[in-house]
Each structure stands twice: as structure tokens, then as C-alpha cells.
Structure 1
């Protein structure tokens, strides 16, 4: 089972339904706040996930930069999505999690 960290957005029901259909475990952080403890939260979860989905219109700028830095450090794929549509976000995340051939 793949594991994805989703940051931003409010579509809890849609995220739960789509993740169940696709057999993906989701960690969802719907937070617009700038808090110091979010850095440790993100670091803990980015280490254990296969991909990060960032809803850029529903996330603080500070958190976006923290996540970008951590995904680079731990070599994890990140998906930026402008809308809050979960189907599109999951589709792109699944493509990014596939191993590259060649």
C-alpha cells in the first residue's frame, strides 16, 4: 500500500473515498497556520511517505517552502496542484510514484 501526505484542502470526504478506491493510505494536513511545530510534523511524515501532494491554493506560503525543502532532502516526489480536486491530485501522485524505467 502506497502512502501519501496531502497538505492543504478541505475535501476530507472526497480524499477518504478516493484513497480507499485506489488503496492509498493518506496523511492529511489541512492547515493554513504558520506554526513552528509544523516543520517537525512534516519532517516526520515526509520520511515515511511515498509522495507528497501540495494544494498550493490552500496552504500557507511558509509551509510550502518547508515541504519543498524536506522533499528535496529526503528525495521524495512532490505534486503541486492548484485546485482542490482530489481525483486529479491522486492521478498525478500515482504517476509520480511509479518507478522510472531506463
Structure 2
């Protein structure tokens, strides 16, 4: 069975997200939302990862407003399903991903 690829943007718990996501049949593509090389570079990084993903979860409690807007714009341009996790926890991020995958499958 093919694993669903979920891009999670924001936070610092990459290892835990990948482990917990794997338990739920997901491949997690992670970005902390920080790019020190400017807006254009950040947007390109988001485009690259979001293209690979089936859906995207943005962790609102762990990302700058500008990074969130850039990621949201890329999702819209690429027609990728997007959900927002209000916090930045591993469990809630994976739960949002599960809900999004189930919604898209229905």
C-alpha cells in the first residue's frame, strides 16, 4: 500500500512527526518554516516539498505569518489540500493530516 505523503510546515519535531506519521501510514515531508535566505528562496523550498506531497498541514503555532502565507499561496497554486493545526504538537498535527486524508478520500 502506498503511503500518503504529507508536508508538515512549522515546528521543530521532525523526527517525532516522521515516526508518528509512519505509524499511521504516512510519509512526512518536514520543513521548519524558517529560511534565512529570503522570501524567494523560502517560496522555492515550499514549492519543491509541496509538489511531492498529497496534502499539507501548517502548524500555526510554530511558523511566521509570512511563511504561512507563502506556503498557503503555493498550496493554492498547486491545488494541494491544506489544513491548519492551531498549535505545534506532534499528535495534533498528525490528527489534522489524518482528517485531511480522510476528507479527500470521501
Which TM-score band (shorter chain)? 0.7 to 0.9
State the 1:70 CA deviation: 1.1
1:46 shift after superposition: 1.2
Stretches of structure 2 lacking an aligned partner (at least 5 in a row): none
What SS is found at the alignment partner of 2:8?
strand
Mapped pair 1:46 → 2:50: yes
**Deviation of the 1:97 alpha carbon:** 1.8
Q: 1:44 Cα deviation (Å)?
A: 1.5
2:101 matched to 1:97? yes
Match of 1:85 in 2: 89
Please say if residues 58 and 83 of structure 2, whose CA atoms lie closer than 8 Å, have aligned partners that are also in contact.
yes
Q: Is the 8 Å Cα contact of residues 33 and 60 (structure 1) preserved in structure 2?
A: no
Aligned-residue offset at 1:12: 2.7
Ranges in structure 1 where 5+ consecutive residues have no aligned partner:
none
Indicate the SS of the match to 1:25: strand
Distance in 2 (alpha carbons) for counterparts of 1:44 and 1:11:
20
Residue in 2 aligned with 1:65?
A: 69
Q: CA deviation at 1:33?
A: 3.9
Q: CA RMSD in A?
A: 1.7
Residues 96 and 10 (structure 1), Cα distance of their counterparts in 2 relative to 1, 3 Å cut: same
